[in-house]
Structure 1
Amino acid sequence: MVVLAMITRNSAERIKDFPEVLNSTLSIPYESMILVDDSDTLTTKNIVSNFAKRNNKELLILSSGAVRTRAVARQKAIDAFLENYNDEWLFFLDDDLILDKEWWSKASKYLNDGYIGIVTGFVMHIEDFVRKYLEIRKIDQWTWFKIKFEGRGYTGDTMFKRDALIKVKETYGLIPPYLHEYEDAWLFHKVRCLGYKYVIVPTNCYHLGHHRLSIISATKNPIIVYKMGFNAEAFIPNVLSNYESINGAFMFPISYLNDAVKHIREFRRKYGEISNVTLMELRILGTYMIWLMMRILNGRPGDPCEK
């Protein structure tokens, strides 16, 4: 019914509890596993191989090849799934996510619905700062996750239906290899654009790591998001709609500046510090200003359903 897929790169060295991530998958009734590993050593491969042998799992090990991006790795896993297995669902799991023991019992009830092409788990664990920031903005964690998922997708613990993956490949081709950080957004939106629905399952998964953006990524990512039309803003639904007009593109960052100041003041009043929240607001404002420049220079935001 389901094949498990993992994309790894030096996971054994980076993630202390990587074996626990693997053990958490045993609550999922899979028989086969695809590993796309681009590690610098054999340690991760060996750990996964030993895990598969101990638990009688068929294991297919691949690598991205010359171009090592998450887009290439994810496409490798999809192609291997479509070419080598007949199962109906491909389950992508991040190398730093421990599954809830009840994940499958909560998710499996949706698998026979022909309209559903994506089933994902709701990750409860978040950083303390993010929890406080959500409180300041009066956004509950479920709403935040839903806004984020609808904007940019997610493959941390996400299943994709076989038919949906086939149709995406036939209609849109391969995941663009340069999408190192937004390959999940591309895949999610293409499945959605084909008419499939998604389900977010209220699980209690635990994310061991938190991604930190470099200055280069903080500049490059908003450009990709704008061109693709991903709406990848975790706090405001459909935020790119503000950039459909020139007036909206100018007014939105200006109006948000007032909100940013309020957020910083409220955070200081409630928690007594402003460094993290100031960096957060500067990043958000920076994104909005990059989008303004994109609107001036390149026109309207992209359409994620465009072929």
Structure 2
Amino acid sequence: MMNEMKIDVVLLTKNSVSRNAPGVFEESLESIMRNVPVNQLIVVDGFSKDGTLDLIHQFFSNVKVIRTRALRGKAREIGIKHVKTSHFMFVDDDVILCKDWFNKAFQYFNNSSVGAVWGADIPWSPRLEKDTILTCDNMRTHLAELMISNFKIRGGTHDILIRTDIVKDMKIPRGLHLFEDNYIKQYIENKGFKVIATSDPYCIHKRKCEADQWDIDTGVQMAYLRMKYGRQRKTFYYMAKNFLRSFPKTFLIWRLSKDYIPANKQLLMYYYMFLGYLKARFGLNLKR
């Protein structure tokens, strides 16, 4: 399949070398090169100053760089405008694609009703050896199922293959710098196409967790954006259910990695999102 067609890949960057853990961005680029038939790498860059673009050119020769200060939602829209192929991918700068990612994903498009295919993002802990997570099929499957369940509510653009014609004219709200992935998912579904979430292909998500920087104000900001742009229901029941769903996810992260820190940070993110919702929705006077 990789010899029969090529696709454009849209990559959002901003100091990706230094912002991620050491070596992660390089590993991400290598996984794209090995597992996706890249026609052109479209880099929407937020004026990186740490050698991010130089590193990209070491891996890819056909690169189009668009430098912009646009927020994430609008940056994705800009990237789509430069796509020339029938299908394209969004790949985040901190994910490692599994072997044969494209070949596994593209087969779903044999069904004409499919508009996009997303591979489960498997959370990563630095204390876990790579070979262990890839050979622990049972644990990876359970974790992937949990992430798929989360995707159906939240959406995601970690590693997603999309039919270009469906989203070519999409206008993402300029102020939507969070949850733009959910906006894209709903846009495709509202056009009558399916968005497939699958455990194979998948990606390893080596996110540098910043949940320890969260507080009530951050939670309020996220809750406000979600409600303003219709990215979530406004009922207390829905938000409480979403918060409770974080517990099994947190437990699996701990069980997989035996690392308390990323598991605790994951729970904190959902905790502050829930408190932020309460404050944004009901005006409650909550403190950290």
Bin the TM-score by the shorter chain: 0.7 to 0.9
Structure 1 CA distance, aligned partners of 2:26 and 2:179? 26
Q: Which runs of 4+ in 1 moved over 3 A?
A: 125-129, 240-243, 273-297
Q: Secondary structure at the match of 1:123?
A: strand
Within a 5 Å distance, the mapping from 1:18-29 to structure 2 comes to 18-26=25-33, 27-29=35-37
AA partner of residue 191 (structure 1) = I
Deviation at residue 28 of structure 1 after TM alignment: 1.1
1:181 pairs with 2:181: no
Retained in 2: the 8 A contact 1:117–1:197?
Answer: yes
Tell me the TM-score normalized by structure 1: 0.69
Unaligned runs of 5+ in 1: 130-138, 232-239, 298-307
Deviation at residue 123 of structure 1 after TM alignment: 2.1
Tell me the TM-score normalized by structure 2: 0.73
Residue 45 of structure 1 corresponds to which residue in structure 2? 53
Q: Secondary structure at the match of 2:195?
A: strand
Within a 5 Å distance, the mapping from 1:48-127 to structure 2 comes to 48-53=56-61, 58-64=62-68, 67-81=69-83, 85=84, 87-127=85-125
Within a 5 Å distance, the mapping from 1:80-229 to structure 2 comes to 80-81=82-83, 85=84, 87-127=85-125, 140-166=142-168, 169=170, 174-201=171-198, 202-213=200-211, 214-215=214-215, 216-229=217-230
1:4 pairs with 2:5: no
Structure 2 CA distance, aligned partners of 1:98 and 1:277? 20
Structure 2 CA distance, aligned partners of 1:274 and 1:156? 24
Retained in 2: the 8 A contact 1:70–1:183?
Answer: yes
Structure 1 CA distance, aligned partners of 2:101 and 2:242? 38
Deviation at residue 128 of structure 1 after TM alignment: 9.1
Structure 2 CA distance, aligned partners of 1:120 and 1:276? 23
Residue 19 of structure 2 corresponds to which residue in structure 1? 14
Q: Percent of aligned pairs with the same residue?
A: 22
Structure 1 CA distance, aligned partners of 2:86 and 2:72? 23
Structure 1 CA distance, aligned partners of 2:70 and 2:168? 23
Deviation at residue 210 of structure 1 after TM alignment: 3.4
Q: Secondary structure at the match of 2:59?
A: helix
Deviation at residue 119 of structure 1 after TM alignment: 0.7
Unaligned runs of 5+ in 2: 1-5, 128-140, 284-288
Deviation at residue 109 of structure 1 after TM alignment: 0.6
